[in-house]
Amino acid sequence: MSDYAVVDPATGETVAEYDTFTDAQIQDAIARASEGARAWAALSVADRAAAVRRAAALHRERRDALAATIVREMGKPLEAALGEVDFSADIIEYYADNAEAITRDQPIEILGEGSAVIRRAPLGVLFGIMPWNFPTYQVARFAGPNLVIGNAIILKHAPQCPESAAALEEIFRDAGLPEGAYVNVYATNEQAATIIADPRVQGVSVTGSERAGSAVAALAGQHLKKVALELGGSDPFIVLSADDLDAVVQAAVDARLDNNGQACNGAKRFIVVDGLYDEFLSKFSSAMEAAKVGHPLEEDTVLGPLSSLAAAERLQEQIDRAVEQGARLVVGGKRDGAYFPGTVLTDVTPEMDVYREELFGPAGVVYRVADEDEAVRLANDTPFGLGSYVFTTDAEQAQRVADRIEAGMVYVNIVLADSPELPFGGVKRSGTSRELGLLAADEFVNKKLIRVG
């Protein structure tokens, strides 16, 4: 079987296979991107924005086909796939709408005579390495700002998303981008290393695991390339007080089961003060157990299959090992092929592997804490630092806890609130950069000083 294949996780059927590029095709892709970068950067900002806006419109026109592809490739329920395509279109359109603001000169008040500005210019060719969990959204948040800036993109999608990869390349081509401004490659890891090393490539962005991020960062550093990393997370969901515990529990379930539990910024560790712990655990476990597992095309399905049989097997191994080491399995925990039910663990201690691991699937760990201080200590006792969630009725406490949490994002009394204008990213082993919002447009740009005497 080819490295690039669509294997429907709901059935295990290999739907389609795509040939991995030859080394000659990789060199041709780099050459086309290098030429395309010059042609794309030479266009006016308005013309680039117009093409990017057409790409957003094409996402909406091809919404049903893109969503069906996502379901086949990684198994999320159809409604979630449709929502992903809609959000992707919104993100791309946001950058088209803000193209002038992104590229506008930034005057500097100087101490001497004359003037000085920072002018944002494209770097050239960028290499994006994308994951499988959000086949269109991940590409949109990388491609949107960088195309508006004037960079060209070589895109290596996850091997299980070749159909999405081809469809997205077609969208950007049909939107009117010049040849080479957006190039899809079906590359091996070795060929990806070749692309990173090539002097025509100016930067690399990877969204994926710690292992992938570490490998890419090492290569990028070796070749003196700018690198952006968006990696894993084990986000805390802290419950300190509640007027409506049922609503908090529902938010916790939504934050854990989104995308079949396969979101890097999904809530994974539920940290609850002693006075609310027993009731929260009871209601949360019942709701997790009740989440319907089924075929992703069925209307009432909450949890489709995980992205692959291998993904379900990895999660099963983590759960089994946690129980062997002394954790208590409250509900769930037994896969059926690639399908995995809502799962809850308790009694996890720092000596257990699962205490510091990311559970990438519909499984969460619930912790009991005495007070705010213990909650913050536990929240921060992780190698990750992506997102976090704080639920409290005390506004001052919310701000105080938000300041103390070691994470790139803090959401207070709200979940699933990502939006194109809000920056996304983390600290520690969760990454080094920001995507979405205007901050994303500063990752791969030459902030050129122009000083006039």
230 is catalytic: yes
Average pLDDT over residues 124-134: 97
Q: Which of 73, 93, 169, 230 is catalytic?
A: 230
pLDDT at 117 over 70: yes
Between CA 450 and CA 433 the distance in angstroms is: 26
DSSP string over 341-402: --EEEE---TTSGGGTS---SSEEEEEEESSHHHHHHHHH-SSEES--EEE-S-HHHHHHHH
Is residue 1 pLDDT above 70, yes or no? no
Residue 232, Cβ neighbours under 10 Å: how many? Answer: 23
Look at the chain and count its residues.
453
Q: Does the structure show a pLDDT above 90 at 438? A: yes
- pLDDT at position 371: 97
176 Ramachandran zone, left/alpha/beta (phi>0; psi -120 to 50): left
pLDDT value of residue 2: 66
Instruction: Tell me the pLDDT tens digit for each residue of 133-164.
Output: 999 999 999 999 999 999 999 999 999 999 99
pLDDT of 446 above 90: yes
Q: What integer pLDDT is reported at residue 98 of this predicted model?
A: 97
Cα 114 from Cα 451, distance rounded (Å): 8
Tokens of 251: 């938010």
Q: pLDDT > 70: what percent of the chain?
A: 100
Sheet of 115-122: strand order equals 106-107, 115-122, 445-452
pTM of the model: 0.95
Above 50 in pLDDT, residue 70?
Answer: yes
- Give the chain's domains with CATH numbers: 4-231+431-452 (3.40.605.10), 235-419 (3.40.309.10)
In the annotation, is 264 catalytic?
yes
Judge whether residue 321 has pLDDT over 80: yes
- pLDDT band of residue 55 (cuts 50, 70, 90) is very high
For residues 260-288, give the mean pLDDT. 97
Query: How confident is the model at residue 381, as a pLDDT?
Result: 97
Q: Is 279 helix (H, G, I), strand (E, B) or coil?
A: helix
97 in Cβ contact with 145 (< 8 Å): no
Structural tokens at position 246: 């049922």
Q: Measure the CA angle with vertex 71, ends 65 and 75; round to 5°.
A: 175
pLDDT in tens, 23-44: 999 999 999 999 999 999 999 9
Specify whether the CB–CB gap between 286 and 342 falls below 8 A: no
Residue 91 has pLDDT above 80, yes or no: yes
Mean pLDDT of the region 301-312: 96
What local confidence, expressed as pLDDT, does residue 278 receive? 98
DSSP code string of 283-335: HHHHHHHHSPB--TTSTT-SB---S-HHHHHHHHHHHHHHHHTT-EEEE----
Alpha-carbon torsion angle 4, 9, 11, 13, nearest 10: 0
Task: Give the rounded percent of residues in the chain with a pLDDT score beyond 90.
Answer: 98
Q: Which of 93, 161, 169, 264 is catalytic?
A: 264
Q: How many CA atoms lie within 13 A of 37 on its CB side?
A: 21
Q: Average pLDDT in the 412-423 region?
A: 97
Residue 257 has pLDDT above 80, yes or no: yes
What's the confidence (pLDDT) of residue 20? 97
What is the rounded CA–CA span in Å between residue 221 and residue 7? Answer: 34
Phi-psi region of 87 (alpha: psi -120 to 50; beta: other; left: phi over 0): alpha
Average pLDDT over the chain reads: 97
Give the mean pLDDT of 101-118.
95
Position 416: which residue type? L
pLDDT at residue 201, as a whole number: 98
Cα–Cα distances in angstroms (integers) from residue 262 to residues 119, 141, 259, 371, in the given order: 39, 18, 5, 30
**Residue 190: pLDDT over 70:** yes
pLDDT higher than 90, residue 344 = yes
